[in-house]
Amino acid sequence: MPALNFKAQFADGVERGIKTNSIRPDRKNPIKIGDTLYLYTGMRTKQCRKLGEGICTKIEDIMIDFILEVGAPIILLDGHGLAETSCEVLARKDGFRNAYDFCMFFEKQYNLPFCGKLFTWELKK
């Protein structure tokens, strides 16, 4: 029963079912397709709030990097490079304005290059 905690900036999108994916570092106890994901914001605080539950439908390996000299994101999903427009679509789907903001978030949060998993879910009704 994996729980995922979301920063406040993503909570509304998760709760409304607009954001149905999350990118995370590899976990000690890996999430598997079919797992129920318990979605929260503010875990381990008094402001903890459950955003919903989802069933994990897809897991992909992801690598995120950014070439500062040319201002270009490099995103690999399961080892396949994404075109620039696909990088933009992924960034917006993940709750960012554009691929640049997306890459800078991962640079600040984890340092680049970042390697982890992209989890996709369907909300439980």
Residue 43 pLDDT > 80, yes or no?
A: yes
Domain around 66: 3-123
Q: Point out the least confidently predicted range of 12-21, 23-32, 61-70.
A: 61-70
Tell me how far apart the alpha carbons of residues 99 and 94 are, in angstroms, rounded to a whole number. Answer: 10
Tell me how far apart the alpha carbons of residues 43 and 50 are, in angstroms, rounded to a whole number. Answer: 9
HEC string for 8-27: HHHHHHHHHCCCCEEEECCC
Q: Do 98 and 92 touch, CB atoms closer than 8 A?
A: yes
**Mean pLDDT over residues 2-24, rounded?**
96
Which pLDDT band, with edges at 50, 70 and 90, does 10 fall under? very high
> Could you tell me the CATH number of the domain that includes residue 42?
2.30.130
pLDDT digits (tens, 9 = 90+) for 49-96: 999 999 999 999 999 999 877 778 999 999 999 999 999 999 999 999
Residue 47 pLDDT > 90, yes or no?
A: yes
Residue 44 pLDDT > 90, yes or no?
A: yes
**Mean pLDDT over residues 105-120, rounded?**
96
Structural domains in the chain (count):
1
Q: Do 113 and 65 touch, CB atoms closer than 8 A?
A: yes
Instruction: List helix spans (H) across the chain.
Output: 8-16, 84-93, 99-110
pTM: 0.92
Which pLDDT band, with edges at 50, 70 and 90, does 11 fall under? very high
